[in-house]
Structure 1
Amino acid sequence: MDLLSRGSMVSRHGLVLLLLLLIGCVYADSDDQVFLEINDHKMTTLSNMSNGSGRNEQICTLCEDFASQTLSYLQDHETQTAVISGLHQVCSKLFSLKHQCLTMVDYYVPLFFANVALIQPEEFCQKVNLCEMMASLRLPNRDGPCTICHNLVVEFLTKLKDPDLQLEIIEVLLKACGKVEDHVQECKKLVFHYGPLVMFELEKFLETTDICAAIHVCKASQGAAVAATLLADA
């Protein structure tokens, strides 16, 4: 399934921006100062979003299950081909930034997929503190993985609409630009130009695309029904 082919041109711009920036900061060496600053900033934001909930082994196991499905999806050859093809198409629309964009895609995306192949789900959940974040969300214990996945999407959408959080996201992305060597200024221009549009289009993308079905947590028909119910109640 080619998720990049869906939505408007702005949403595709948003996906390439987010992907390239996150590649630069998430897979940096854990001893790197910029990575630590970004991670500290991110956890301050998550702390503000949460109610102080701590680690929960059941929640961590659930996180690892979701991470395993997502990593499997990213390791699929068809997914990788679709992502690279989609990013090349996006770069062709950036006019003066086309060459820099293609250079970044051709260097960082294969590196990203190579790192994905080495990641263990439990390591991923711990590194980006997803256990703690998921524990802070209002997730009914009786629900199955499909409903919980969609609950996570709805919670994320709710947080994404918070103006204070949007500003913090822009600040974190600007810091992440420091990791994109030789293209820092171009990266910052992309953040300022597309950042607000990215978040708006990302909201629409998550509202209209069944991410949980895409990563095989839900069956397509089941996921669509659950998503419609939860979004209606949000």
Structure 2
Amino acid sequence: MDLKEGIFLIVLLIGSKSAYASTDLTGENPITEGKGGEPEQLCTVCEVFTARATTFLNENKTRSEILDTLHHACSELRSLELKCLILVDYYSTLFFTSIGKIRPEEFCGRVGLCEASSVSMAKNDEKCALCHRVVVGMLLKIKNPDAQLEILQMLFKKCDKMKNYAHECKWLVMHYGPYILTKGEKFLETNDVCASIHACSSKQAESTIGGAALPGSSIHDT
């Protein structure tokens, strides 16, 4: 991981923690009760941290090298450096003491940053299925000539708002709009978008994509 990636990761950590009222530095879990989507944000941050750290370990980087990289990233955050260091040291210690005993995907659940694995898996399955339903719905729209016309008409209206460039804009829409729609259709058909955006794991993609057309058909029927 280079410096930019390190800074990005630490910013995520600090951003997710900043909404919490206080931080306990006595050695207890520094997470206090949050509101709204804060637990979900922490779960996401934990998963990112775990995935990154696991990658470093697989690359035979030592614990010291990983922490040095993260600590150096913290030093770039100026006034937030101390808080950044506390977060890195706390979660990295938990990670390194647990990763040899449990699978990486279980780590965040074990430390209480994500829900229990069974619940998490159910949510992941739901997210994967929803993604495929959305993709199928998009394909149905693109394949529908009437919907294609609506899309082009919408683009023409957007062109009207471009004043001096309205004519050139409409020319581009007229000449390239159908081509882009066709390419978009082929892209959605030949690429597993849901796996690419990590809405599905590779195994989920294989098992879910076949059943995704069923909900999509209901969209088309309505």
TM category, shorter: 0.3 to 0.5
Q: Structure with the greater relative contact order (CA < 8 A, sep ≥ 6): 1 or 2?
A: 1
TM-score, L = length of structure 1: 0.35
